[in-house]
Amino acid sequence: MQCGTLLIHNDHETEPLSGALGVPIIQSSTFQQRDLSRSQEYDYARSGNPTRKALEEIIARLEQGARGYAFGSGIAAISSVLGIFSTGDHIIAAEDIYGGSWRILNTFYKRWGLEMTTVNATDPDEIRRALKPNTKALFLETPSNPLLKITDLRVCLAIAREAGLISIVDNTFMTPYLQRPLELGADIVVHSATKFLGGHSDVLSGLAVTKTEALGSRVYAVQNGFGAIPGPWDTWLVIRGIKTLKVRLDAQEATARKLSAWLDAHERVEQVFYPGLAGHPGREINEAQASGAGAVLSFKTKTREQALGFLSKITLAATAVSLGGVETIASYPVKMSHAAIPMAERERLGITDTLIRISVGLEDPEDLIVDFARALETP
């Protein structure tokens, strides 16, 4: 079956007892243990809950992995996956991974003795050069945020496999509908389900999928032991969001393509970053590993005043952090997601005070273009 069908038909479309079309919300912390001589599937809800189990099976199937795990946020998923490593292990991470992932590695896990080297993963040789005898993992994210750089997953994941590393890919921007890293050679996929999977800016959630049962058991030990799990209501919202992922992303991507082409031709726009745009340096690699370019783009205006004017004048986009919802969201990385990065380092990465990131929503593209045109004329 194709991914669009799997979003709907996934062994959890009907509840067997009542025939209800949907997964029930089992709001219970504990489960009666009828026969103490046997272990049963559910005993305490940190260890397992039927609503959560449904989401975990749905995402495992969508990503074509052996096991899926749900968490209370994307960062809870990422932190828990990193929890399978030990003091003295070394991890290679792309330099432009999500800021929160970088922060947990550079603070919490650093204190616990997990070593990190960051590399520009668009150059696979940098990964080869960063390998050390104690390197245990490679952590990638593509497209990157906020400059939408593309990492060649097949090439980088092959390097990881050859070196015996566990490879982890943050697939939040693409979702399994557009990109399936496990099929390209990854060992673990992580998600902020807060974004496109949930899709409605109303829930925080995170997911992890492992390629093998053995890796799944290691992640499960952290999920159960560390306890960064989601509640059943939040889990249910993600299950519901996933059902419409295909139509949302198809429409959002179509609008992102129109908007990026329109922005590219605008006299006040210096540069547009979108993997679906002709001239994007990673376009061909993205097309070879993903079935779309997604619905996030960014652009630079010619001056800082134009960027600030745009953000103050747009009416059809919220000026906010986050992405992947049904409403268009404009964010200003230097003051939001990347505010913690020292200015010199930010400039080196190309994250300037003229850069705006757009998560394209479900509004009509013509209306967005009219609104953007007016906002770009300010001041």
| Residues assigned a catalytic role | 46, 98, 170, 195
Find the binding residues for ligand PLP in span 45-74 (CB under 6 A).
73-74
Find the binding residues for ligand PLP in span 85-114 (CB under 6 A).
98, 100-101
234 binds ligand PLP (CB under 6 A): no
Judged by CB under 6 A, the residue of 10, 51, 172, 301 near ligand PLP is 172
Instruction: Name which of 206, 238, 234 is nearest 104 in CA terms.
Output: 206
204 binds ligand PLP (CB under 6 A): yes
Cite the DSSP H helix spans in 90-152: 99-106, 108-111, 124-130
23 vs 148, beta carbon nearer ligand PLP? 148
260 binds ligand PLP (CB under 6 A): no
- Spatial distance between the Cα atoms of 354 and 334, rounded to a whole number of angstroms: 9
Q: How far apart are the first and last CA of the chain?
A: 51
DSSP at 181 = G
> CA-based angle 373:378:379, to the nearest 5?
160
In the complex, what is the shortest distance from the CB of residue 373 to ligand PLP, in angstroms, rounded to a whole number? 28
Site mask for ligand PLP (CB under 6 A), range 124-153, x = bound? -----------------x---x--------
Task: From 31-39, 170-178, 232-240, 281-289, give the range in contact with ligand PLP by CB under 6 A.
Answer: 170-178
In order of 80, 87, 104, 210, the CA distances from 116 in angstroms are: 17, 12, 11, 22
52 vs 308, beta carbon nearer ligand PLP? 52
Pairing mode, strands 269-273 and 296-301: antiparallel
In the complex, what is the shortest distance from the CB of residue 33 to ligand PLP, in angstroms, rounded to a whole number? 34
In the complex, what is the shortest distance from the CB of residue 134 to ligand PLP, in angstroms, rounded to a whole number? 26
Q: How many chain residues are in contact with ligand PLP, going by CB under 6 A? A: 16
359 binds ligand PLP (CB under 6 A): no
Strand partners, 92: 117, 138
- Spatial distance between the Cα atoms of 354 and 336, rounded to a whole number of angstroms: 13
- DSSP sequence for 277-339: STT-TTHHHHHHH-S---SEEEEEESSHHHHHHHHHH-SSSEE-S---SSS-EEE-TTTTTTT
Judged by CB under 6 A, the residue of 75, 121, 166, 209 near ligand PLP is 75
**Binding residues for ligand PLP, per CB under 6 A?**
73-75, 98, 100-101, 141, 145, 170, 172-173, 192, 194-195, 204, 206
